[in-house]
A and B are shown apart, each in its own frame.
Chain A
Amino acid sequence: MSTQTIEKTQETPVRRSGFGHAVRAEWVKLWTVRSTWWTVVALVVLGAGLTTLVCWGNADWLASEQEESPGSFITWGMMIAQVCAVIVGTLAVTSEYGTGMARTTFAAVPHRGVVFLAKALVVCGVLFVVGTVTALLGYFGGNFFLDREGIGMALEGDVARAMYGSGLFLAALGLLSMAVGFLVRHTAAAISIVLATVFVIGNMVMLIPGELGDWITKLMPGNVASSLVAPVSFNPDALDAWTGFGVLMAEVGALCALAWWLLERRDA
């Protein structure tokens, strides 16, 4: 027996790896695939660019029209940025299941709840920052044209709230997409489900007659925070900003709880 034999068979104290390690690992994972970079670039360009474009195109009639507020337009491009947020959140989870890498992940970090939380922290953190920055870029671009028509808005109050509100909304959508990703474990299925729920079903429920239809429309995850993400919502009936965000968090939270519960129980 060599000296190495003795060395290897004796238990050496190992520093416990913790939540910080898991977060670092998820951070490295997120930024070492090209899809993240493409999607984030698309989010910024489309989000800020479309806001600017829409404000440029509508500034002159908004200046004469009293019924419509420019506040409904200053975060317009963020609607498209939402699609990118859904893709970032979904891919963070389903790309691992698609390649079998999920098993490597859970072998490295056997506590699945830790993986869930670490991923959520990284995805939501990135989407909040990128979303807020994109909303600000859109504001500066769009407000330039609104200013020229004399209807510019100062970056304060509801306008300022709409900036970080947009970031919060993208983070919440990312988390919702992650939860669906853990539930269905398939990229195309998860993206379709989330986009259909947020953009298609969210609009179709308006067709349900009466007060019931109004409430369902208001409470759909894609609509419930519409007062948060714009200084003036297109939908005059929408819940107020923080109530809406609270309801959204409850909806996302419930889905996350279900995803977590199943994650702990299913085979990886």
Chain B
Amino acid sequence: MERAYGMIRAQGLTKTYGSKIAVDGIDFTVEPGRVTGFLGPNGAGKSTTMRMILGLDAPTRGSVTVNGHRYASSPAPLRQVGALLEAHAIHPGRSARDHLRWMAASNGIATTRVGEVLEQVGLDTVAGQRAGRFSLGMGQRLGIASALLGDPPVVILDEPVNGLDPEGIRWVRQLAKSLAEEGRTVFISSHLMSEMALMADHLIVIGRGTILADCSMQQFMVDHAASYVRVRAPQSTEVEALLVGRGLDVSRADGELRVQGLDVPAVGELIGSHGLLLHELTLVRSSLEDAFMTLTADSVEYHAKAAEEIKAGRR
């Protein structure tokens, strides 16, 4: 049981709405001490999964536990799991301070924590203002304050950088990392790969309700970010013949050769050992964004049609 502390564990977790399957029998474990990114396109099932973790939506099948038990059986849930749900899950007529006050009261959290977290998220000067006047970014900060209120070992943030300015985004990134360094479990959802690349140690990628990848960020790069060695050489025909002769996958584009199947030093040595000249030898890696797009291309629910496609359809 103590091993489960700080862990979020889903087993065969399924949620259907009528005939539509939002989450399709997923298994995953989120571990303490690192930032786990929960990545997927809009409508992939991220928010549904997070609501099931918090016991707000009941799974159709399967289960999900936090700290080894169902969320609802926590003795004081806000002290064990802090969550930022979708932005503005807050009454617009209530001040930031009062919002945190009732939350603190509900779990027997000392009211001194209210001032502490307001200061931590930078809302202390506007704490008395009604939340309805807050910008999207300020609302996000208040949501993060409510997640931190109970000083919980598990922190769940659903799309925390939405609506934040660049300074706010950097702040969330640093906050997530420092929470993980303190040994907490940090589970963050996003539909932006670029954001996750800077923040997460571990990735769980979801598309159309199924897990597409569950690995460390490095592993994800190796597995999914395609790479090739770019070769520019004056005698490119000879170089191409040489490489193809060795059974390598070579393609020609923009006056360069793209070589797969051998690392940079080996390609260089091979070409050099045959006395051929080289102008450029570079390892080219596609971005994580590209890797993510490729991985989830089939699972994107709504995507813009290219202009040609639309024209073609009209004919």
B95/A32 in contact, CB under 8 A = yes
A99/B108 in contact, CB under 8 A = no
Interfacial residues, chain B to chain A (CB-CB below 8 A): 2, 5-6, 32-33, 51, 54-58, 67, 71-72, 74-80, 83, 85-86, 88-95, 98-99, 101-103, 105-108, 146, 153, 181-184
23 contacts between A and B (CB under 8 A): A2-B183, A8-B6, A8-B184, A11-B2, A15-B76, A17-B106, A17-B108, A24-B106, A25-B103, A25-B105, A29-B94, A32-B94, A34-B93, A100-B89, A100-B90, A103-B51, A103-B85, A104-B103, A107-B55, A107-B56, A108-B103, A110-B71, A110-B72
How far, in whole Å, are A265 and B51 apart by their CA atoms in the complex?
15
B74/A33 in contact, CB under 8 A = no
A15/B85 in contact, CB under 8 A = no
B94 nearest CB neighbor, chain A only: A32
Interfacial residues, chain A to chain B (CB-CB below 8 A): 1-2, 4-11, 14-17, 21-22, 24-29, 32-35, 95-96, 99-101, 103-111, 265, 267-268
B53 nearest CB neighbor, chain A only: A107
Cross-interface CB contact of B106 among A6, A16, A108, A267, cutoff 8 Å? A108
A266 nearest CB neighbor, chain B only: B58
B105/A8 in contact, CB under 8 A = no
For B79, the chain A residues whose CB sits under 8 A away are 14
**For the complex of A and B, 4 pairs with smallest distance between CB atoms:** A25-B106, A8-B183, A5-B183, A16-B75
For B99, the chain A residues whose CB sits under 8 A away are 32
For A107, the chain B residues whose CB sits under 8 A away are 54-56, 77-78, 83, 85
A17/B76 in contact, CB under 8 A = yes
How far, in whole Å, are A76 and B75 apart by their CA atoms in the complex?
48
B50 to chain A, nearest CB (A): 10
B101 nearest CB neighbor, chain A only: A28
B93/A33 in contact, CB under 8 A = yes
A8/B182 in contact, CB under 8 A = yes
Classify the secondary structure of A's interface with B.
Answer: helix
A9/B153 in contact, CB under 8 A = yes
For B95, the chain A residues whose CB sits under 8 A away are 32
For A16, the chain B residues whose CB sits under 8 A away are 75-76
Classify the secondary structure of B's interface with A.
Answer: loop
For A108, the chain B residues whose CB sits under 8 A away are 77-78, 103, 106-107
Contacts A17-B76, A104-B89, A106-B56 given: A9-B6 contact, CB under 8 Å?
yes
B131 to chain A, nearest CB (A): 9
B89/A101 in contact, CB under 8 A = yes
Contacts A21-B108, A99-B90 given: A8-B76 contact, CB under 8 Å?
no
B146/A17 in contact, CB under 8 A = no
A18 nearest CB neighbor, chain B only: B108
How far, in whole Å, are A33 and B75 apart by their CA atoms in the complex?
28
Contacts A8-B32, A28-B105 given: A104-B90 contact, CB under 8 Å?
yes
A99/B88 in contact, CB under 8 A = yes
For B181, the chain A residues whose CB sits under 8 A away are 2, 4-5
How far, in whole Å, are A25 and B85 apart by their CA atoms in the complex?
19
For B83, the chain A residues whose CB sits under 8 A away are 107
For B5, the chain A residues whose CB sits under 8 A away are 9-11
Most chain A beta carbons < 10 A, residue from B92, B95, B108 = B108
B257 to chain A, nearest CB (A): 47
Cross-interface CB contact of B57 among A95, A96, A111, A267, cutoff 8 Å? A267
For A267, the chain B residues whose CB sits under 8 A away are 51, 56-58
How far, in whole Å, are A249 and B311 apart by their CA atoms in the complex?
66
Contacts A5-B183, A17-B106, A110-B55 given: A96-B91 contact, CB under 8 Å?
yes
A28/B102 in contact, CB under 8 A = yes
For B108, the chain A residues whose CB sits under 8 A away are 15, 17, 21
For B105, the chain A residues whose CB sits under 8 A away are 21, 24-25, 27-28
How far, in whole Å, are A5 and B179 apart by their CA atoms in the complex?
10
For B58, the chain A residues whose CB sits under 8 A away are 265, 267
Most chain B beta carbons < 10 A, residue from A21, A32, A96 = A32
How far, in whole Å, are A32 and B127 apart by their CA atoms in the complex?
13
How far, in whole Å, are A29 and B57 apart by their CA atoms in the complex?
23
B106/A22 in contact, CB under 8 A = yes
For B183, the chain A residues whose CB sits under 8 A away are 1-2, 4-9
For A7, the chain B residues whose CB sits under 8 A away are 183
